[in-house]
Each structure stands twice: as C-alpha cells, then as structure tokens.
Chains A and B, each alone.
Chain A
Amino acid sequence: QVQLQESGPGLVKPSETLSLTCTVSGGSISSYYWTWIRQPPGKGLEWIGYIYKSGNTNYNPSLKSRVTISVDMSKDQFSLKLTSVTAADTAVYYCARAGTIGSPGEFDYWGQGTLVTVSS
C-alpha cells in the first residue's frame, strides 16, 4: 500500500523559505508525477506543481517564481521549497501522487497534510 507523509516546520516567518519533504513508502518513486497541493484554512485546493522522473517539473504560474520541487530517489522523498512567504501562503500542504493512468492530473494517493503557518 502506497503511503505519503509530509514533514517540515509548522511555522515559518514572513519573507523566509518554506521547506517541506514528502516521504513515499510502499511503492516506487521512479515513476509517477509527485505533486504538491495546498489548501488555505477553510478554502479550496490549489495545485502547486509536480516533478516527474527525477527532473521534469511543472509549476503553477501563480507561484512559479518562488517554487522549487525536487526529488531524492535514494531516500524515496520529494521536496517543496517556497521562497519569500507571506501570510497568504498559510495553508495545509499536501503531497500527492498522480500518473496511474499515465496523466499528471488524477491524484490517487495523498499524504495526510501538514499545516504551515506564516507568522512572525
């Protein structure tokens, strides 16, 4: 059974960098689209971007200048970095997997989510 688990600081200061890691177990990280999605408290879902086959990335243009997604296959982990954060980046951050049917858009496995609050 595939499992994803997010980890990282729950509190980040404004203007600093948010860094999260997603650890994948029960399946290979060498395939699929490994994705980050966020959800501000009480609001809807926003796709941040994905990494595919260790190097190909695709980011939401609304965040592209501040986002980096990378993968460490030796540790079965992928990571999110979001720079210059503001209060608007406060959200539950989910990692997810897509690609079971060959496309990056159907998220069939999700982490439990981690709340990141941006505050001084």
Chain B
Amino acid sequence: DIQMTQSPSSLFASVGDRVTITCRASQSISRFLNWYQQKPGKAPKLLVYAASSLQSGAPSRVTGSGSGTDFTLTISSLQPEDFATYYCQQSYSTPLTFGGGTTVEIK
C-alpha cells in the first residue's frame, strides 16, 4: 500500500494568513494526488484533483502543486470558512489511501 503522510497534523492561523499543508507519498505517484476539505459532521469535499486542478466550485485562493512524492496545498488568504480538516489522497493505485489529515484552527 502507498502510505500518505501529511504535515503538520494541526496548525493555528488567522484570517488572512497564507497556509501551506504538505503531503508526502511513500513512493512516486506522479500527479495522482487529490485534496479534500472536511468540516465537523460533514462529508469531505473535493478541492483539488490531479495535484493542481481546481475542482468546480472550489475557491481560487486554493492551489495545489507537486509531483512524484511531494505535494502541497496552499490557501493564499485564509477565510473563516476555511477552518477545517484537510486530507490528501492518492489515486495512483489501489488500495486508494488518504493522509492522516491536517486540522486548520483559529489562532
């Protein structure tokens, strides 16, 4: 199985801050990497697919980058609705696997 490791596991930030979350795969996954946002009690929501393609409806302040084993999700100017948990997920091979999540909390 491909292991996905996210860092940090949590972070504190303020509205307007630039936030970066990192995801590392245990082997190369090319650009088969997706990012989800999950709020408490809700299903995850797809934000970015194929490493850098913004899902329809996702805000333009969100960008994804990377290839191979190292990926990042950046929120350029954090908004109140961005406080949530973010998961990366590889779609290179089955079993499909997720990172452990990064919780973005209000400072």
Chains A and B form a bound pair: yes
Binding site for B on A (CB under 8 A): 44-47, 58, 60-62, 94, 96, 101, 103-108, 110-113
Q: Which stretch in B16-24, B60-68, B69-77, B83-91 binds the other chain?
A: B83-91
Does B46 sit within 8 A of A, measured CB to CB?
Answer: yes
Q: Which residue from chain B places its CB closest to the CB of A4 in the assembled complex?
A: B43
| Choice from B87, B91, B100, B101 contacting A105 with Cβ under 8 Å | B91
Q: A101 to chain B: closest CB distance in Å?
A: 7
Docked-complex contact B55 and A105, CB < 8 angstroms: no
Inter-chain CA distance A106–B44, complex, in Å, is: 12
Which residues of B84-107 are within 8 A (CB) of A?
A: 87, 89-92, 94-101
Docked-complex contact A105 and B89, CB < 8 angstroms: yes
Which residues of B34-60 are within 8 A (CB) of A?
A: 34, 36, 42-46, 49-50, 55
Inter-chain CA distance A61–B92, complex, in Å, is: 16
Q: B46 to chain A: closest CB distance in Å?
A: 5
Residues in chain A near residue B49, CB distance under 8 A: 101, 106
Indicate whether A44 sits within 8 Å of B44 (C-beta atoms), given known contacts A101-B49, A106-B91, A108-B55: no
Number of interface residues of B (CB under 8 A): 25
Interface secondary structure of B, over-half rule: loop
Residues in chain A near residue B92, CB distance under 8 A: 105
Indicate whether A101 sits within 8 Å of B50 (C-beta atoms), given known contacts A110-B43, A110-B44, A112-B43: yes
Docked-complex contact B90 and A105, CB < 8 angstroms: yes
Q: B44 to chain A: closest CB distance in Å?
A: 6
Residues in chain B near residue A104, CB distance under 8 A: 91, 94, 96
Q: Which residue from chain B places its CB closest to the CB of A109 in the assembled complex?
A: B46
Inter-chain CA distance A110–B95, complex, in Å, is: 19
Sample of 8 A–B contacts (CB below 8 Å): A44-B98, A47-B95, A47-B98, A58-B94, A103-B91, A105-B34, A107-B36, A110-B43
Inter-chain CA distance A47–B90, complex, in Å, is: 11
Inter-chain CA distance A62–B55, complex, in Å, is: 30
Inter-chain CA distance A58–B95, complex, in Å, is: 8
Q: Which residue from chain A places its CB closest to the CB of B85 in the assembled complex?
A: A44
Docked-complex contact B44 and A107, CB < 8 angstroms: yes
Additional A-B contacts beyond A47-B96, A101-B50, A110-B43 (20; CB < 8 A): A44-B99, A44-B101, A45-B98, A46-B98, A47-B94, A47-B97, A58-B94, A60-B94, A60-B95, A101-B49, A105-B32, A105-B91, A106-B49, A106-B91, A107-B34, A107-B46, A108-B46, A110-B45, A112-B43, A113-B43
